[in-house]
Structure 1
Amino acid sequence: MLDLRPNCEFCDRDLPPDTAEARICSYECTYCAECAENLLHNVCPTCGGNFQPRPIRPRRNHREGKALGLGHHPAATRRHHSPWSAAQIAEMVHRLASVAPDQR
C-alpha cells in the first residue's frame, strides 16, 4: 500500500493525501508537480525512473464490510527529503532527461 508521503522531497511543500499535485516514482519517491516537471524534468534523482501522478486515497470507505479509505489507512506523517545534493540531482537530470523512461 502506498505511503502517501506528506511532502515534496525537494522543496518540502505539503502534499496532503487528496492533492492532485503529488508525483511519485516506482519507489514512491514523492515530489510536487512543479519540482517533478520543472526542476527534475521527469527524472527521479534517486532511481532515474519517471514520475506519475500519485493516486488519491478516498477519504471514506465506500464498501460495506471492508476497511478502506483514509480512516482505516491514513497517509504517512514522516517527512522525507532527498538525500542528494543539488549538484548530484542536476547531473542525474542532465544525463537522463532526454532518454525515454522505458529506455533508462
Structure 2
Amino acid sequence: MLELRPNCECCDRDLPPESTDARICTFECTFCRPCVDGPLKGVCPNCGGNFAPRPIRPAGKLARFPASGRRVTRATCP
C-alpha cells in the first residue's frame, strides 16, 4: 500500500491525499507537479526514474488506511 507522503521532497509543498499535483516514482519518492515539470525535468533526483501521478485513495478508505504523516525533504534540490 502506498504511504501517500504529505509533501513535496523538493519544495516541501503540502500534498494531501486527494492532491492531483502529487507525483511519485517507483520508490514512492514524492514531488509536486511544478517541481517535476520544472527543476527536476521529469527525472527523480533520488533514483533516476520517471514519475507518474500518485493515485488518490478514496476518502472512505482513508479512515482505515490513513496517509503517512512523515515528511521527507531533500537537503538540496535542483
Please give the TM-score of this superposition, normalised by the length of structure 2: 0.95
Letter in 2 for 1:70: L
Structure 2: 5+ residue runs without aligned partners? Answer: none
2:59 counterpart of 1:59: yes
Give the ranges of 4+ consecutive aligned residues of structure 1 lying more than 3 Å apart after TM superposition: none
Deviations 1:16-66 (A, max 9, x none): 000100000000000000001111011000100000000000001xxxxxx
Aligned alpha-carbon RMSD (Å): 1.0
Letter in 2 for 1:76: S
For residues 70 and 39 of structure 1, the distance between their equivalents in structure 2, rounded to whole angstroms, comes to 31
CA positional deviation for 1:8: 0.2
For residues 74 and 68 of structure 2, the distance between their equivalents in structure 1, rounded to whole angstroms, comes to 16
2:62 counterpart of 1:70: yes
List aligned pairs for 1:8-87, cutoff 5 A: 8-60=8-60, 69-83=61-75, 85-86=76-77
For residues 79 and 26 of structure 1, the distance between their equivalents in structure 2, rounded to whole angstroms, comes to 18
Structure 1: 5+ residue runs without aligned partners? Answer: 61-68, 91-104
Percent identical pairs in the alignment equals 56
For residues 10 and 73 of structure 1, the distance between their equivalents in structure 2, rounded to whole angstroms, comes to 26
Structure of greater relative contact order (alpha carbons < 8 Å, 6+ residues apart): 2
Looking at CA atoms only, which structure, 1 or 2, has the larger radius of gyration? 1
Aligned residue-pair number: 78
For residues 74 and 65 of structure 2, the distance between their equivalents in structure 1, rounded to whole angstroms, comes to 25
Letter in 2 for 1:54: R
